[in-house]
């Protein structure tokens, strides 16, 4: 295949989110309450090099790093997000019957979350939930570590669908993004969010988590970059003697220097992926670091991770498919608990987020629901 013909495939699959331009989504109902929904804005980093003040305007227009179609960083330090900044308010979604609200987990770092709970389970809401406790799904959105939000229309719709179908309390985490906060900042946020969920919503206790969450059924979940974050939270949970019930990785973002299976072997593709990883972690971790390549020689033993069982989903047209399958096989071989794999043949990367109401997405959500409720 000629190099030019691979470009659209690589941008779509490797970089994962061009579906944002083509998907259809159902606008959620407006929130009847004020919503804590911080917007992702164009920000300024400390300039990467000293410069004459008279050239400041030039530096503000000169690109330092182009991570299209997601973000550009200019030589002045300005960060421009090309998309993935839209947010929607929390509230009752009439199409699913799920209520949502926003909470601050750590005001010092800006760590926050949007909680999703079937409306009939809302404490004091007059529903039929009684004293029922439901699984807690701590979820991390995708977006190549640099865009998207727990408050975006994509993830608001997807978590509404998941909470409704699973009859679960979903905690969609608003973690810090690179490049302003390079990895491992998001990993630290994930760990803090997991501890918050286990603590019943912090020291004072969140009323939804404390009244409805089942601490014996806590799941870590995420898609793409968010799946990578969930994996790293599970690895830390194992070291910290924290035991989660399950790990759900949807189309996980893993990579490495050497190709696996049918991954592209073209040097320019692999070097491009390595550069993008170096960008999101500010060069702190190599492409074979266990954070992104847990199957590599430097990876830790999977059997010590903090979950009882795992579900890995892959998509047939996703460049990350091979890594997802290798990850699942590594879990099996290391005795990391029960491992399930689901493949959506013919589908692209994270197709289920772009349209959670499609038949293919509904089937994937069914797999997640079955996994969550299996004892």
- Known catalytic residues are 224
Give the chain's count of helices (H) and strands (E).
10, 13
- Whether the CA torsion 233, 198, 247, 111 is positive or negative: it is negative
Residue 286 phi/psi, 5-degree rounding, is -75, 170
Question: Residue 130 has what DSSP assignment?
Answer: T
The b/e string for 143-153 (b: 16+ C-beta within 10 A; e otherwise) is bbbbbbbbbbb
222 CB-side CA count, 13 A: 34
CA-CA distance, 275 to 374, in Å (whole number)? 40
Determine if the peptide bond prior to 179 is cis (ω within 30°): yes
Tell the residue number behind the tokens 């830390």, with chain if given: 236
Question: What residues contact 103, with CB distance under 8 A and at least 6 apart?
Answer: 36, 112, 113, 114, 115, 201, 206
Structural contact between residues 129 and 216, judged by C-beta atoms closer than 8 angstroms: no
Helix (H, G, I), strand (E, B) or coil at 302: helix
State in Å, rounded, how far the first CA of the chain is from the last one.
Answer: 47
Would you state the structure tokens that stand for residue 48, as one six-digit string? Answer: 């990467």
User: Given phi > 0 = left and psi -120 to 50 = alpha, else beta, which region is 144?
Assistant: left
**169-174 and 213-223 as β-strands: parallel, antiparallel, unpaired?**
unpaired
Structural contact between residues 42 and 74, judged by C-beta atoms closer than 8 angstroms: no
**63-67 and 43-44 as β-strands: parallel, antiparallel, unpaired?**
unpaired
Helix (H, G, I), strand (E, B) or coil at 82: coil
Strand partners, 78: 44
CA distances from 234 to 140, 200, 239 (A): 12, 19, 9
């Amino acid at each position: 295949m000629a190099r030019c013909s691979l470009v659209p495939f690589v941008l779509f699959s490797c970089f994962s989110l061009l579906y944002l331009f083509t998907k259809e989504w159902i606008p959620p109902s407006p929130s009847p309450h004020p919503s804590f929904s911080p917007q992702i804005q164009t920000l300024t980093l400390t300039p990467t090099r000293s410069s004459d003040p008279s050239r400041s305007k030039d530096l503000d227009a000169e690109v330092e790093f182009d991570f299209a179609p997601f973000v550009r960083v200019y030589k002045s330090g300005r960060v421009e997000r090309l998309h993935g900044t839209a947010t929607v308010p929390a509230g009752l979604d009439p199409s699913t019957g799920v209520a949502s609200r926003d909470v601050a987990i750590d005001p010092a770092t800006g760590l926050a979350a949007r909680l999703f709970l079937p409306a009939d389970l809302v404490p004091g809401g007059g529903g039929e939930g009684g004293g029922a406790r439901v699984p807690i799904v701590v979820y991390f959105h995708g977006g190549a570590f640099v865009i998207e939000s727990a408050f975006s229309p994509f993830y608001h719709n997807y978590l509404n669908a998941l909470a409704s179908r699973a009859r679960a309390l979903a905690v969609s985490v608003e973690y810090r993004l690179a490049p302003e906060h390079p990895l491992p900042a998001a990993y630290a946020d994930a760990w803090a969010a997991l501890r918050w969920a286990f603590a019943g919503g912090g020291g004072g206790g969140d009323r939804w988590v404390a009244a409805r969450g089942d601490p014996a059924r806590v799941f870590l979940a995420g898609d793409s970059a968010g799946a990578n974050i969930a994996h790293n939270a599970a690895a830390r949970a194992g070291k910290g003697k924290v035991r989660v019930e399950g790990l759900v990785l949807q189309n996980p973002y893993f990579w490495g220097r050497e190709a696996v299976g049918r991954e592209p072997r073209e040097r320019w593709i692999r070097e491009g992926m390595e550069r993008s990883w170096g960008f999101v972690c500010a060069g702190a971790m190599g492409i074979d670091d266990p954070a992104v390549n847990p199957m590599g020689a430097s990876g830790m033993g999977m059997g010590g991770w903090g979950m009882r069982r795992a579900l890995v989903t892959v998509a047939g047209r996703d460049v990350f498919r091979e890594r997802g399958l290798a990850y699942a096989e590594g879990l099996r071989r290391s005795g990391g608990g029960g491992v399930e794999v689901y493949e959506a043949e013919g589908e692209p990367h994270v197709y289920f987020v772009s349209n959670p109401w499609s038949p293919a997405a509904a089937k994937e959500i069914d797999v997640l629901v079955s996994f969550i409720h299996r004892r």
